[in-house]
């Protein structure tokens, strides 16, 4: 009996360890492509067989690019580490990942444009997909990190990145590197905040060895947002930043509005018609040499407030308040930056004010208190 009990315990331990190893936040297997194809599977930079890159399956014209490699007079930028892949016209890479059915996840990856201005990436986990534009460079490094989210419909997610481009040169296409994933846990409103994820702590994976944040692409709805509960209602991305590399007003994460009025975040909150509410939030700078006179515009339905902030680019923040009376059962809360900004030490890198610690609460009118 004692031996049987020991056997059951060992089997349970094995099952627990095995199941916990199915998923982890961080890089996918060979997500940074540091495990190279064999020399026999390469024709120069061209990958010759579909399974040549360890842990990945490729289709179409895919190149394995090493750091420092040139294309004519142009240096091909590898976002991080030793190597990356370049996806030619209609080329793709894919990997199957064990996930939890019904759970939502955010992918984070780095990408760089190489030839055309209008390059984009189709990121998908069937049946969800998103066309992410990468023509706008938000930093002068030559690359940016992007995020995209999906909710798993089965226990296996097939992650696929595809270049839908039709460039005259079929070899042209974006460089892709450092593909990672993070599980997203659905935030809920509480008695202390009617908004969900108002502190932005729930969001995409941020690479610990990078210092440029993660872009959340434009036109992202809240049902599959890498920034849970928030929508990106703009033509440009917003940047998700962490306290390890930036100044954050509260907690570990915040949002930087890097595209002026084309960079906006929004959330719809449940409200009661005629009731008074108070929206509080922090406005600051990310300590990334983003200097100058900043203004954040906050909207709550038809009410608005403009919050000026004079940035020295070295961190800091101020608190702001918007009080309003609800005119509908659902009120749209939105933030945007009035002006465009670039870093004082790098005029090619877009930046902007930071928004964090957003709270919405109902408040009593003076008449209600006296009653």
* pLDDT tens, position by position, 311-333: 999 999 999 999 999 999 999 99
Among the listed residues 200, 325, 301, the one whose alpha carbon sits nearest the alpha carbon of residue 252: 200
Task: Return d(Cα 88, Cα 105) in angstroms, integer.
Answer: 27
3-state secondary structure of 74: strand
In the DSSP assignment, the letter for residue 249 is: S
Query: Which CATH number does 187-371 carry?
Result: 2.60.120.260
Q: Pick the closest to residue 174 from 97, 96, 39, 61 (CA basis).
A: 61
Task: Locate all alpha helices (DSSP H) within the chain, ordered by sequence.
Answer: 2-20, 366-370
**Maximum Cα–Cα distance across the chain:** 84
Q: What is the pLDDT of residue 59?
A: 96
Sign of CA dihedral 144, 145, 149, 155: positive
Q: How far apart are CA 165 and CA 121, in angstroms?
A: 8
pTM metric for this prediction: 0.89
What is the predicted pLDDT for the residue at 185? 93
Rounded CA separation 102/240 (Å): 25
CATH of 23-184 given 2.60.15.10, 2.60.120.260, 3.50.50.60, 3.20.20.140: 2.60.120.260
pLDDT at 17: 38
B/e letters for 200-234, b = 16+ CB within 10 Å, e = fewer, are bebbbbbbeebebbbbbbbebebebbbbbbbbbbb
In sequence order, the β-bridge partners of residue 71 are: 74
* Contact indicator for 87, 62 with CB cutoff of 8 Å: yes
Q: Are the C-beta atoms of residues 354 and 283 closer than 8 Å to each other?
A: yes
Residues of the chain with pLDDT under 50: 1-21, 367-371
pLDDT at residue 10, rounded to an integer: 38
Cα separation, 94 vs 162, in Å, equals 9
Q: What confidence tens digit (pLDDT) does each residue in 141-152 have?
A: 778 999 999 999
Q: Where are the domains of the chain?
A: 23-184, 187-371
> Taking Cα atoms as reference points, which of 310, 316, 305 lies closest to residue 293?
310
Provide the pLDDT for residue 147: 96
Q: How much is the pLDDT for 116?
A: 66
Quick one: CA dihedral 203, 132, 87, 156, positive or negative? positive
> What pLDDT does 3 receive?
47
Classify residue 354 as exposed, middle or buried by CB count within 10 Å of its CB (0-12, 13-18, 19+).
buried
From CA 202, how far away is CA 252, in angstroms rounded? 10
Q: Do domains 23-184 and 187-371 have the same CATH topology?
A: yes
Backbone angles phi, psi at 219, to 5 degrees: 55, 45
Q: Which helix (DSSP H) or strand (DSSP E) does residue 14 occupy?
A: helix 2-20
């Amino acid at each position: 009996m004692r031996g049987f009990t020991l056997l059951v315990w060992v089997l349970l331990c094995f099952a627990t360890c095995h199941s916990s190893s199915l998923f982890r936040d961080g890089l996918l297997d060979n997500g940074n492509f540091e495990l190279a194809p064999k020399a026999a599977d390469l024709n120069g930079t061209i990958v010759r067989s579909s399974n040549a890159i360890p842990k990945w399956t490729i289709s179409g014209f895919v190149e394995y690019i090493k750091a420092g490699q040139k294309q004519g007079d142009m240096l091909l930028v590898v976002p991080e580490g030793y190597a990356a892949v370049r996806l030619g016209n209609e080329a793709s890479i894919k990997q199957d990942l064990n996930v939890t059915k019904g759970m939502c996840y955010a992918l984070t990856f780095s990408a760089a444009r190489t030839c055309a201005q209008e390059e984009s990436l189709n990121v998908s986990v069937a049946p969800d997909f998103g066309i992410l534009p990468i023509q706008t460079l938000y930093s002068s490094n030559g690359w940016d990190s992007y995020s995209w989210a999906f909710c798993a419909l089965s226990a296996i997610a097939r992650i696929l990145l595809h270049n839908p481009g039709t460039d005259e040169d079929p070899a042209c296409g974006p460089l892709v590197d450092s593909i990672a994933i993070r599980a997203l846990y659905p935030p809920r409103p509480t008695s202390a905040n009617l908004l969900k994820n108002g502190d932005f702590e729930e969001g995409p994976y941020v690479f610990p060895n990078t210092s440029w944040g993660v872009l959340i692409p434009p036109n992202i709805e809240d049902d599959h947002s890498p920034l849970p509960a928030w929508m990106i209602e703009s033509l440009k991305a917003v940047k998700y930043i962490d306290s390890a590399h930036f100044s954050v007003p509260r907690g570990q994460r915040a949002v930087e509005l890097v595209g002026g009025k084309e960079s906006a975040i929004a959330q719809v909150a449940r409200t009661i018609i005629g009731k008074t509410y108070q929206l509080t939030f922090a406005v600051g700078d990310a300590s990334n040499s983003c200097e100058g006179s900043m203004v954040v515009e906050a909207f709550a339905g038809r009410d608005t407030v403009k919050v000026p902030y004079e940035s020295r680019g070295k961190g800091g923040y101020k608190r702001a308040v918007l009080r309003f009376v609800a005119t509908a059962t659902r009120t749209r809360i939105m933030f945007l930056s009035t002006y465009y900004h670039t870093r004082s030490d790098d005029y090619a890198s877009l930046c902007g004010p930071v928004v964090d610690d957003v709270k919405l609460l109902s408040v009593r009118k003076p008449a209600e208190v006296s009653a």
